[in-house]
A and B are shown apart, each in its own frame.
Chain A
């Protein structure tokens, strides 16, 4: 079976926490619910390493459904290029009181894709 296509660089590793299902991002030292703390892989080797960590962390039953997401880098940290992943870093666009966007500080400056 062909491997899934690697997204364009740079990338971050995104997953769901096993216990509470919260969207989490791989950091230099573990996992964070804050995308601004995400470890950014800017080359193929770093992306491979990040992907391998995701697999290992799933095998260690820390997270579920870990995969790489391509991002653009800005003043507020990495922001996913795709609107689906952007929604995951924020929360439902129709309930901005819920999800990460509902907690002060975590998603400051980030905006939903307008509908």
Chain B
């Protein structure tokens, strides 16, 4: 994992001290809310429906056990004993008091964390594939790239007041687990088909919200050393030409759409050619220094197959099912990556209690070199577990009610906080997730249905990624009541697609039956071994719509 150097540590501490004085000035009346609001937002502090909310950055979703324990401590001391993992791989506390926030930030700084750039019109926390460094299909670990971008974009003087917020995601694998085409910039590390050199495919102008767009490729292959100057060229074009007159048309996706991908590409290349690359690009020595932090942990040499695992799978049915759904292939023989589902049946997607955080931290120490990942699916991952130890890990998870075997299945639902917490929301989303989770609680049925991503947002801002859900659910308001629009066929992967509206909106209580009907159409029409999204692509939306006529 990356460790703060002297500069990082001083910068974060100074920022906490600065914010402490800003809070003091707000509380003594020296600063008005209008003056204070941009300052608190720059430190991740929102005012939500019931209380303040603090959003803490977890860069590219990588977290140490020590950090997770500190988050648990903060949850107990200053919040209500739990935290919420988000679709940007961050963590939110829903109940901090303004007067306590500087102390919370100091506790975060103690473990090399902060809440900077988790809000505002700046480059937000960079996200990455949660199986970074361990995925069997990976060309290169995306985290050194993500860390480089984090350092470059932190308090970048030119890009701290952009037309609108800006989100970057990086993957190093063929299979996109980071939804890079739904980001302002998506980077995919790949090998040049001719030379074998490692570089980036650069995708710009993806995004969800009220005007969802799939990103466009602006560079098929960018040599690695040119990364920062190319990003700087993109940001300059956007900063100069992105709209500032209308916040709903201010994201880079609108600029790319309005001038066309070809013209946007031309302007970026022109800016890139004019930039003094060497003065912007990272020093190769610094790139090596950063990469060294992400060196693989000291794996043991193990056989690929674990006899112990096979015996346990044969003896314990529930464990075997957990392995089937929540254990993923690892590039190192004898190891596996384990998804800890934060989606218990009927639970709140992404919520973890302080006690669960401590248990997971302990399990990370015992089984995964003290390191964890937060996924954009709102789950946690132990990325380096010996296959021999999977059963012991499962037993401990099961005892803590953390062994729900549903990763990527129909109850592994993404849900934004919705109107239960969020001041922007137009409808509740968590209760919909809970009712669907209960409806499809039966494990055998879930496995029969297979991978199916339901994503729920409580407003058009789409924090719950509903546009790219295989089944997307959007909560809206009409005539003083909540109602829900369903979309089908969205896809967050390398085959990214936006879902298509199924039909008229539904009342909350109608949603589970509607999803059930959709699932039944799929089960009836699917070919052997075909996942929901493949069936949808083959048969289109018409057979699903027929069920609602």
* Interface positions of A (Cβ within 8 A of B): 16, 18-23, 58-61, 64-65, 81-84, 87-88, 91-95, 98-99, 113, 115
| B410-456 CB contacts (< 8 Å) to partner A | 419-421, 428, 430-432, 434-435
**Is A93's CB under 8 angstroms from B52's CB?**
no
A115: chain B residues at CB < 8 Å are: 428, 431-432, 435, 482, 508-509
CB distance from A102 to the nearest CB of B (A): 9
Q: Is B47 part of the binding interface, using a Cβ–Cβ cutoff of 8 Å?
A: yes
A93: chain B residues at CB < 8 Å are: 420, 428, 431
**Is A22's CB under 8 angstroms from B51's CB?**
yes
Q: Known contacts A21-B47, A84-B419, A115-B509; is A94 also within 8 Å of B431 by CB?
A: yes
In the assembled complex, the Cα of A95 lies from the Cα of B353 at a distance in Å of 13
**Is A87's CB under 8 angstroms from B431's CB?**
no
Q: Which of B12-20, B91-99, B129-137 contacts A (4 or more CB under 8 A)?
A: B91-99
In the assembled complex, the Cα of A21 lies from the Cα of B177 at a distance in Å of 36
Given contacts A21-B51, A61-B27, 15 further A-B contacts (CB under 8 A): A16-B51, A18-B26, A19-B99, A22-B51, A61-B29, A83-B480, A87-B49, A88-B49, A92-B50, A92-B430, A95-B348, A95-B420, A115-B432, A115-B482, A115-B509
In the assembled complex, the Cα of A84 lies from the Cα of B459 at a distance in Å of 13
The 9 A-B pairs of least Cβ separation, nearest first, read A21-B51, A92-B420, A115-B431, A21-B52, A20-B97, A61-B29, A115-B508, A94-B430, A99-B50
Q: Known contacts A92-B420, A93-B431, A115-B431; is A61 also within 8 Å of B26 by CB?
A: yes
Measured CB to CB, the nearest residue on chain A to B37 is A64
Q: Known contacts A87-B419, A93-B420, A94-B420; is A21 also within 8 Å of B480 by CB?
A: no
**Is A58's CB under 8 angstroms from B50's CB?**
no
A22: chain B residues at CB < 8 Å are: 50-51
A21: chain B residues at CB < 8 Å are: 47-48, 50-52, 95-98
Q: Is B310 part of the binding interface, using a Cβ–Cβ cutoff of 8 Å?
A: no
6 contacts between A and B (CB under 8 A): A16-B51, A61-B27, A61-B29, A94-B348, A98-B50, A115-B435
A94: chain B residues at CB < 8 Å are: 348, 420, 428, 430-431, 434
- One digit per residue, 1 when the CB lies within 8 angstroms of any chain A CB and 0 when it does not, for chain B 226-246 equals 000000000000000000000
In the assembled complex, the Cα of A94 lies from the Cα of B431 at a distance in Å of 7
B80: chain A residues at CB < 8 Å are: 98
A23: chain B residues at CB < 8 Å are: 49-50
CB distance from B412 to the nearest CB of A (A): 18
Q: Is B151 part of the binding interface, using a Cβ–Cβ cutoff of 8 Å?
A: no
| B14-59 CB contacts (< 8 Å) to partner A | 26-27, 29, 32-33, 47-52
In the assembled complex, the Cα of A68 lies from the Cα of B421 at a distance in Å of 20
B421: chain A residues at CB < 8 Å are: 92
**Is B432's CB under 8 angstroms from A20's CB?**
no
A61: chain B residues at CB < 8 Å are: 26-27, 29, 32-33
Q: Known contacts A20-B98, A22-B51; is A83 also within 8 Å of B481 by CB?
A: yes
**Is A87's CB under 8 angstroms from B51's CB?**
no
Measured CB to CB, the nearest residue on chain B to A97 is B80
In-complex Cβ contact of B97 among A19, A84, A87 (8 A): A19
A87: chain B residues at CB < 8 Å are: 49, 419-420
CB distance from B223 to the nearest CB of A (A): 48
| B56-72 CB contacts (< 8 Å) to partner A | none
- One digit per residue, 1 when the CB lies within 8 angstroms of any chain A CB and 0 when it does not, for chain B 168-204 equals 0000000000000000000000000000000000000
In-complex Cβ contact of A88 among B50, B434, B480 (8 A): B50
A82: chain B residues at CB < 8 Å are: 480
Measured CB to CB, the nearest residue on chain A to B507 is A115
CB distance from B347 to the nearest CB of A (A): 9
B51: chain A residues at CB < 8 Å are: 16, 20-22
- One digit per residue, 1 when the CB lies within 8 angstroms of any chain A CB and 0 when it does not, for chain B 469-496 equals 0000000000011100000000000000
**Is A18's CB under 8 angstroms from B27's CB?**
yes
A92: chain B residues at CB < 8 Å are: 50, 420-421, 430
CB distance from B351 to the nearest CB of A (A): 9
CB distance from B413 to the nearest CB of A (A): 13
Measured CB to CB, the nearest residue on chain B to A102 is B80
In the assembled complex, the Cα of A19 lies from the Cα of B47 at a distance in Å of 11
In-complex Cβ contact of B27 among A19, A88, A98 (8 A): A19
B432: chain A residues at CB < 8 Å are: 115
**Is A64's CB under 8 angstroms from B47's CB?**
yes
CB distance from A100 to the nearest CB of B (A): 8
In the assembled complex, the Cα of A115 lies from the Cα of B482 at a distance in Å of 9
In-complex Cβ contact of B98 among A18, A84, A88 (8 A): A18
In-complex Cβ contact of B47 among A16, A83, A95 (8 A): A16
In the assembled complex, the Cα of A23 lies from the Cα of B51 at a distance in Å of 7
**Is B33's CB under 8 angstroms from A58's CB?**
yes
CB distance from A55 to the nearest CB of B (A): 12
In the assembled complex, the Cα of A63 lies from the Cα of B47 at a distance in Å of 12
Among B50, B95, B430, max chain A CB count under 10 A is at: B50
B435: chain A residues at CB < 8 Å are: 115
A98: chain B residues at CB < 8 Å are: 50, 80, 95
In the assembled complex, the Cα of A59 lies from the Cα of B481 at a distance in Å of 34
